[in-house]
């Protein structure tokens, strides 16, 4: 899988209250949630036209706070293609893997700026910063998580497990 997009840059400890504030949690409709994606980190972000296909790049501990899956859902349905951060809070990472939102942990996000054009090749494990002409290596996920990702999320994987069990 390869994708290309423009960077929107955020800081450290971006929490789930900033990604999708509780005042918008009275619904589970993903397209409604998408409108308020990153609302309290950058007001109006979810309603911008130019975020489709873009990449969020952030610092440490992205997605800390609540377990609300509404946070990665709002990012995914807003059309953000990938989130890159120095590291992710545990539940947020889990939720992204479970719902199939591509995320990448890499230490050098300080070298990437707002507006940079990135090309990511997941098979080769490479991020290219086309604007700054720099290249970074991505660490692959453990096999267990890759299997979930390949199945298109945890429920599809879990269903396969069930089916295999029935056939045993």
Partner 1 sequence: MSKKTMTLKLFEKKLQKELKIGEFVLVEVDKALGNDITAPVAINEFEKINNECPVYDPDQIILVPDHFTPNKDIKSAMQVKKVREFAKKYNIKNFFEVGRVGIEHVLLPEQGLVKSWDIVVGADSHTCTYGALGAFSTGVGSTDLAGVFLTGKAWFKIPESLGVRLKGKFNKYVSGKDLILKLIKILGVNGANYKAIEFFGEGVTNISMDSRFTISNMAIEAGGKAGIFPIDHITKEYEKQRGFDVETLEPDEDAPFIKILEIDLSEIKSQVAYPFLPSNCKDIDEAYEDKIKIDQVVIGSCTNGRISDLREAAEIIKGHKVAEHVRCIIFPGTQEIYKQAISEGLIQVFLDAQCAIAPPTCGPCLGGHMGILAEGEKAVSTTNRNFVGRMGHIKSEVYLASPAVAAASAVAGIIAGPENL
Residues near partner 1 (CB under 8 A): 13, 15, 17-18, 21-23, 25-28, 40, 60-61, 64-70, 72-73, 87, 89-91, 94-95, 98-99, 142, 144-145, 148, 153-156, 158-159, 161-162
Cβ proximity to partner 1: between 122 and 154 the closer is 154
Return the beta strands (E) in the chain as ranges.
2-9, 55-57, 82-85, 103-105, 117-121, 126-129, 134-137
Tell the smallest beta-carbon distance from residue 133 to partner 1 (Å).
31
Q: How far apart are CA 15 and CA 149, in angstroms?
A: 24
> CA-CA-CA-CA torsion for 80, 84, 90, 96, nearest 10 degrees?
30
Smallest separation (angstroms) from partner 1 to the CB of 9: 18
Distance in Å, CB of 15 to partner 1, minimum: 5
Rg of the chain taking only CA atoms, in angstroms: 16
Which of 82, 89 has the CB closer to partner 1?
89
Which residue from 10, 9, 22, 11 is spatially nearest to 65, judged by alpha carbons? 22
Least distance in Å: CB of 60 to partner 1? Answer: 6
Whose Cβ is closer to partner 1: residue 124's or residue 160's? 160
- What is the distance between the alpha carbons of residues 44 and 144, in angstroms, rounded to a whole number? 37
Instruction: Please identify, using beta-carbon distances, which residue of 124 and 147 lies nearer to partner 1.
Output: 147
Closest CB to partner 1 among residues 41, 120? 41
CB of 144 to partner 1, least distance (A): 4
Token pair of 123 as six digits: 């098979």
């Amino acid at each position: 899988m390869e994708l290309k997009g423009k960077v929107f840059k955020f800081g450290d400890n971006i929490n789930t209250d900033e990604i999708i504030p509780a005042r918008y949690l009275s619904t589970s409709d993903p397209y409604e949630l998408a409108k308020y994606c990153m609302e309290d980190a950058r007001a109006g972000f979810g309603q911008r036209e130019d975020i489709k296909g873009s990449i969020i790049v952030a610092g440490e501990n992205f997605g800390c706070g609540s377990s609300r899956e509404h946070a990665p859902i709002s990012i995914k349905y807003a059309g953000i293609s990938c989130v890159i951060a120095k590291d992710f809070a545990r539940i947020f990472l889990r939720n992204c893997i479970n719902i199939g939102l591509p995320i990448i942990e890499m230490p050098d996000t300080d070298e990437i700026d707002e507006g940079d054009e990135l090309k990511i090749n997941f098979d080769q494990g490479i991020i290219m910063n086309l604007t700054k002409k720099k290249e970074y290596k991505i660490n692959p996920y453990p096999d267990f998580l890759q299997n979930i990702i390949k199945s298109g999320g945890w429920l599809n994987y879990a269903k396969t497990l069930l089916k295999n069990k029935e056939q045993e």
